[in-house]
């Protein structure tokens, strides 16, 4: 099986390579449709404003410029190009997120929990000196935020459901109760999860959700859409065949947003 849709690709409008390069790679990979879902944070908390300025994540102010670029590229490509967004979610920011999404009118929105206490759950150094109880608390709060993300129904897609597993210091603290809570929320929501290949071929070496979590979702017949989480042309080249093989190996056909 070859994948025909990839809903989670980044460009130079956040932390990826230029749009034309990523589109060319998507064409070479044989996709029918690609979704550019660049990072975006609309929080008014000082720590989050500082973080997005340091990393140069400014899609909340540049999405119209990117939309013009997508429209221009669409005229020269046979691919369907989705104008999407990946928004950092925190329950405290729901009002701001809702207003932004209503104004911007993206084709779809991906919701992600990247931060707990305004610290990235991928920041290994921040958790290196924490106790087991403190690390477990961070993971517990991560899953609480993920359930709130799904319950909010602000997003069509929930990204990389078990993101703390990428971080060695936080790995292994998730419980079946966490996974059950997320599955319960997904069953009652219009939001669908993705099978995410962001670090599957790298240092982490697993897809999101990893096997135990995935099996629980499969038991509930919860569909998953494909997301390579590509930031470079080489990611699309390498991850898409691997992601297709993972769907095959798990006995699951990739869902499309129009079908769920």
Pair of tokens at residue 226: 């494909």
pLDDT tier, 172 (very low <50, low <70, confident <90, very high otherwise): very high
Residue 2: per-residue pLDDT? 84
Q: What DSSP string describes 52-89?
A: HHHHT--HHHHHHHHHHHHHHHHTT-SSEEEEEEEEE-
Residues 202-231 have a mean pLDDT of 96
Q: Is 218 a residue whose pLDDT tops 70? A: yes
pLDDT tier, 259 (very low <50, low <70, confident <90, very high otherwise): low
Residues 158-171 have a mean pLDDT of 98
Residue 195: per-residue pLDDT? 98
- Which residues are bridge partners to 230 per DSSP? 9
For the chain, the 3-state helix, strand and coil shares in percent, each to the nearest 5, are 45, 15, 35
Residues 77-105 have a mean pLDDT of 98
Pair of tokens at residue 206: 């697993």
Cα separation, 22 vs 225, whole angstroms: 20
Report how far apart the first and last C-alpha atoms of the chain are (Å, whole number): 20
pTM (two decimals): 0.97
- Segment 173-209, tens digit of pLDDT: 999 999 999 999 999 999 999 999 999 999 999 999 9
CATH class held by domain 5-259: alpha beta
Of residues 82, 69, 96, the one with CA closest to residue 37:
82
Residue 258: per-residue pLDDT? 82
Residues 155-173 have a mean pLDDT of 98
- Segment 238-248, tens digit of pLDDT: 999 999 999 99
pLDDT > 70 fraction of the chain, expressed in percent and rounded: 99
Contact 212, 177 (CB under 8 A): no
Residues 6+ apart with CB under 8 A from 136: 173
Phi-psi region of 18 (alpha: psi -120 to 50; beta: other; left: phi over 0): beta
* Lowest-confidence region among 51-60, 134-143, 250-259: 250-259
């Amino acid at each position: 099986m070859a994948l025909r849709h990839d809903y989670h690709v980044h460009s130079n409008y956040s932390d990826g390579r230029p749009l034309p390069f990523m589109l060319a790679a998507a064409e070479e990979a044989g996709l029918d449709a690609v979704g550019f879902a660049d990072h975006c944070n609309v929080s008014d908390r000082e720590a989050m404003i500082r973080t997005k300025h340091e990393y140069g994540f400014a899609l909340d102010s540049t999405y119209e410029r990117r939309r013009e670029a997508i429209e221009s590229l669409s005229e020269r490509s046979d691919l369907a190009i989705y104008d999407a967004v990946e928004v950092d979610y925190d329950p405290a920011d729901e009002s701001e997120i809702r207003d932004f999404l209503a104004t911007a009118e993206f084709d779809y929105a991906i919701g992600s929990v990247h931060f707990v206490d305004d610290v990235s759950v991928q920041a290994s150094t921040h958790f290196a000196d924490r106790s087991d109880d403190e690390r477990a608390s961070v993971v517990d709060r991560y899953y609480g935020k993920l359930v709130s993300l799904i319950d909010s129904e602000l997003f069509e897609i929930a990204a990389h459901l078990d993101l703390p597993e990428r971080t060695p210091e936080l790995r292994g603290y998730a419980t079946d109760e966490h996974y059950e809570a997320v599955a319960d929320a997904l069953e009652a929501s219009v939001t669908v999860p993705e099978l995410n290949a962001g670090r599957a071929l790298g240092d982490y070496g697993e897809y999101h959700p990893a096997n135990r979590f995935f099996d629980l979702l499969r038991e509930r017949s919860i569909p998953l859409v494909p997301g390579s989480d590509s930031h470079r042309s080489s990611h699309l080249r390498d991850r898409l065949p691997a992601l297709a093989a993972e769907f095959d190996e798990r006995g699951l056909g990739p869902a499309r947003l129009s079908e769920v």
